[in-house]
Structure 1
């Protein structure tokens, strides 16, 4: 008997399959208008549906959030953060917690290979549909109770509909405590890969039913079968400890992990730079601040694309569709075709990834696009292509219409409609063109290519092709891995050449990882899928100002500031003609240099609105930092004699300007303090300078004077920012876990 709670939790609507599956899985990112930096993280589709849980009984955190351990000073624990304020403990959910506290029959290695997990071995049947797994000896949950084959049967029986729809499992039986047989809906070598996602994990029936509705709501009401257990789960953090009963304890190198919840992005940035976090995920508004040596982009198994209605009207002409595909706007804007093709980078192939093994068959080329359009118009006996409606649910996208008009001389009319309406118009074949994003449900190219199968996919009203169906059917029914992959490759080639779909780009998640930390993740993973059992870390090697050849020129009062900002990557120095790293402490700092230092130190996010300054071009090195400062209200610029708004980025910044920028950046309330003799009450920055002095940001050139119009040196700028960070600190640190 399945507990009522498990039935309530695991039941999925039948509409998760077929046409409506896309509605559940599609996600729309906020696109960067500056497409040159194609570092676009977005929410990938999770394998579990959203459902209502009983109110969680979270623990009251023993320490306030302010008591945060220092990642750099503790090699016995990982320190991570998430903006989410909720992480489920329910076995079978997909999350960073589940990936490391629960284990299934198999697991995925950092190189993408599928390795034995709780199963010691498995054997497929002759027809490739049934796999028989043999469990390891003496498997135990964290509490010492035995893991048996019946626990997997119970997990399957609790959620049969989901198992069939997403994992393609037809039935699960146990012949004894160690032997498990899984029959899938059709042959396929990739089924074992799907079992590594974390959905199919053991649940002990007696434990789950004894806990009832409380099952999976607290650590005490959950059993853990993976390398870590949850020892604390509050509204501020989740704490993991190495599972002493895990079958492969010696391989778990780092015994603990702390995941802080509901951490704002700017706070996470500063905590990372101060060595308090081992990793952070950057969103597109912070990608410009990525430290090259610490940047690790990861594919998100998602593709953005145009869907073309290919059965009626001018777009039924193959050459017209190919013209639109060859003129791919994203390729022209970025100079790169995402990672190429409809199947995204990171998706599993035969021996490595699908994209590494198979190049896309259509590479955009504006000259070919014009030729294809001319051929199509001749066949249609048209002198000009009629306007084409492009259905979107947001205008926060690049101007596709202007691009196509410039390249092909055609008119694309954007039509903004509600999200659900756009999906319905597209799937019903009403929308001539529509913009979509498809995110993977499982790690196999068929997850994308099946969208266009005339019987199994949602797009039959837009395009159908008998040869395409034949290739996918051959792959669907093949138990030979190489043959199956060849058919999938041929199917994608045909799809791209016929162009009912125009792949635009593929999403990435950009991670910053500390140089003292090695966080492993499989090449085809969704979200923050870190394999902590395979990860490691060492002590942080602190940077020293002795790295600078001119360190002796740094004044004593600036040593602490220069050291901290150097370690936080706010200042990096520059290399001279003798290949020496220098700080140039007494050189003047420019307006754009100081703004860059402030944005880096506070983790301010970039806004992609057009820059208001006529003297700052989009391709200027400091443009992203200036844009972030404008968005945060830190700078406004000035008006020149021609009436233009300017920033004067290369001008030396004055001490008065520095005080103003810092007061704005730190959002300080105006305060009074003893006035400097050379700053009169009618000075434009009078209130800012007094507020800065009241908050100990500045001390003046003497007790009586400030030198408001004097240019600031690099070391003085560092000291003022250093003082500002004391006013707005990140959560304080302790070097040990309590």
Structure 2
């Protein structure tokens, strides 16, 4: 039986890109149709795209990580245990026994030091995440040190160990095999060129083949410290067109289709195909630029919260794509606030405006990305806000055009979405509840600064206090209170949390798709 499974795996991994029409997928290989042309890099020190995040998560481990069993809980990874000293700003990790890289090399404390220093020294796109810990190319090897099977991490900054741990659970904190990587160094690149075509991880899958814009092949790591994956391999075929993905799934050529449209999803479920829905971390919001005089009164913000037809949208064209969520941190993670106190009530909105002496009609431009579902959302807002005399002139544009206006603070109203860079509530609190310098020349990649909202000093102080709080339960409670404040009094109306739908063969079980692309796991998948 072992020989048969091995032969099937070898045959599957040798399959050409175009499978014969109607061909059944191998029994113990998961075959996925997905658009993966967003990948620019797969080296954990450089990877910053959605699809590359999935690859890194399945191939590499971190000291601490959100894992397949429960992607909302920070769990031990390559570290079996750790101790945090908030006063000394130090976390001491003890590595688990017996963990090995795919090369067979043991995972050493020195590999951890190398991996973190490598990210900082290469200083590629995601390096800023680790640099938040006060690490620089000059000091990182003093801030991260090895002693036997222990790693001591020091950090600088007025924040809690919980924040530091979430930073160390982020993608660029993945641990690479120093010996293997440095065997492939070219011109001082610390193996970057080689790692963008190969891998040197310890994760549940080993990267066997990567061809940009074509194919990713994973092979099961039989020696994984949490046990071997339940399938012997995963093949991800690049299929850009949703219609082609649908045909491949319906014909049995693939087990899973990752990029179907809502219309296709609506007609997919049946005896052989099922659809699973997964909440995502991105929150969608409407915001008002405070450089526009008529958008400055708080009554306009208050009324706006009652002029969004939340249920009307989620029951129709957003069905399956989004759920009502009115706070800046996504549901399903510690520190989230999941109450939704606002409903569509144009009469109440009109009364709020009248009581405040706001003269209507008000005409405001609304920038929106020119694609579905954003244009449909803008049209819904245009209709519902008009009920209270707030008239939106919709200005559609490409994503880059809309974002450019947002960064320039030249918009009036904006319909956009926001996702965290890493799974710590401060990642979004900084974006939605902090702006200590609202001057035009103090560019900040936050929704507050981009909407020219001078956040009240009390809210800025709350944000800094939550970041610094060392007690995890108390810290989460502080973020809940902060979300209530933003929800009640800000020019940013948070409306929805995104959802992601995946169609798959009925026999596929155990697929886990967490709130971000970094939380996509194939380790528990079975095909029964």
TM-score range, shorter chain: 0.7 to 0.9
Q: Does 1:392 align with 2:368?
A: yes
- 1:211 aligned residue: 184
Q: Which has the larger radius of gyration?
A: 1
- 2:448 aligned residue: 459
Q: Distance in 1 between matches of 2:369 and 2:215?
A: 36
Contact 1:141 1:225 in 2 (8 A): yes
Structure 2 unaligned blocks of 5 or more: 1-12, 136-142, 437-443
Contact 2:365 2:395 in 1 (8 A): yes
- 1:559 aligned residue: none
1:129-163 alpha-carbon deviations (Å, 9 max, x no partner): 42211112233211112221222222222232566
- 1:537 aligned residue: 527
Q: Does 1:372 align with 2:352?
A: yes
- 1:489 aligned residue: 480
Q: Against the structure 1 CA distance between its residues 343 and 182, is the aligned structure 2 distance closer, same or farther, given a 3 Å change threshold?
A: same
Q: Against the structure 1 CA distance between its residues 136 and 308, is the aligned structure 2 distance closer, same or farther, given a 3 Å change threshold?
A: same
Q: Distance in 2 between matches of 1:467 and 1:215?
A: 45
Q: Does 1:286 align with 2:264?
A: yes
Structure 2 residue corresponding to 1:78, chosen from 22, 30, 46: 30
Contact 2:21 2:251 in 1 (8 A): no
Match of 1:511, SS state, is strand
Deviates more, 1:64-73 or 1:466-475: 64-73
Where is the strand percentage greater, Structure 1 or Structure 2? 2
- 1:436 aligned residue: 416
TM-score when normalising by structure 1: 0.57
Q: Distance in 1 between matches of 2:22 and 2:93?
A: 43
Q: Distance in 2 between matches of 1:310 and 1:154?
A: 46
- 2:497 aligned residue: 506
1:60-96 alpha-carbon deviations (Å, 9 max, x no partner): x954323469996643221212222475542453433
- CA shift at 1:228, angstroms? 1.5
Q: Against the structure 1 CA distance between its residues 180 and 363, is the aligned structure 2 distance closer, same or farther, given a 3 Å change threshold?
A: farther
Match of 2:287, SS state, is strand
Q: Against the structure 1 CA distance between its residues 183 and 346, is the aligned structure 2 distance closer, same or farther, given a 3 Å change threshold?
A: farther
Paired residues in the alignment total: 467
Contact 1:83 1:263 in 2 (8 A): yes
Q: Distance in 1 between matches of 2:292 and 2:15?
A: 64
Contact 1:71 1:77 in 2 (8 A): no
Structure 1 unaligned blocks of 5 or more: 1-60, 539-738
Instruction: Within 5 Å, give how 1:76-115 maps onto structure 2.
Output: 76-85=28-37, 88-92=41-45, 93=47, 94-109=52-67, 110-111=69-70, 112-115=72-75
Q: Against the structure 1 CA distance between its residues 405 and 240, is the aligned structure 2 distance closer, same or farther, given a 3 Å change threshold?
A: closer
Q: Distance in 1 between matches of 2:467 and 2:382?
A: 41
- 1:224 aligned residue: 201
Contact 1:103 1:198 in 2 (8 A): no
Q: Against the structure 1 CA distance between its residues 289 and 322, is the aligned structure 2 distance closer, same or farther, given a 3 Å change threshold?
A: same
- 1:297 aligned residue: 277
Instruction: Within 5 Å, give how 1:81-230 maps onto structure 2.
Output: 81-85=33-37, 88-92=41-45, 93=47, 94-109=52-67, 110-111=69-70, 112-127=72-87, 129-160=89-120, 165-167=128-130, 168-171=132-135, 172-184=143-155, 185=157, 186-213=159-186, 215=192, 217=194, 222-230=199-207
Q: Distance in 2 between matches of 1:389 and 1:73?
A: 51
Q: Does 1:517 align with 2:504?
A: no
Contact 1:133 1:179 in 2 (8 A): yes
Higher relative contact order (CA 8 A, sep 6+): 2
1:564-613 alpha-carbon deviations (Å, 9 max, x no partner): xxxxxxxxxxxxxxxxxxxxxxxxxxxxxxxxxxxxxxxxxxxxxxxxxx
Match of 2:93, SS state, is strand
Q: Does 1:247 align with 2:214?
A: no
Structure 2 residue corresponding to 1:340, chosen from 322, 325, 346: 325
1:443-463 alpha-carbon deviations (Å, 9 max, x no partner): 233322311311374524234
1:180-208 alpha-carbon deviations (Å, 9 max, x no partner): 12234421424434433432122344432
- CA shift at 1:219, angstroms? 9.4
Structure 2 residue corresponding to 1:233, chosen from 200, 204, 210: 210
1:28-79 alpha-carbon deviations (Å, 9 max, x no partner): xxxxxxxxxxxxxxxxxxxxxxxxxxxxxxxxx9543234699966432212
Q: Distance in 2 between matches of 1:122 and 1:137?
A: 14
Match of 2:303, SS state, is helix
Give the aligned CA root-mean-square deviation in angstroms.
3.2
Deviates more, 1:300-309 or 1:190-199: 190-199
Match of 1:305, SS state, is strand
Q: Distance in 2 between matches of 1:395 and 1:137?
A: 50
Q: Distance in 2 between matches of 1:219 and 1:332?
A: 45
- CA shift at 1:330, angstroms? 4.4
Contact 1:71 1:79 in 2 (8 A): no
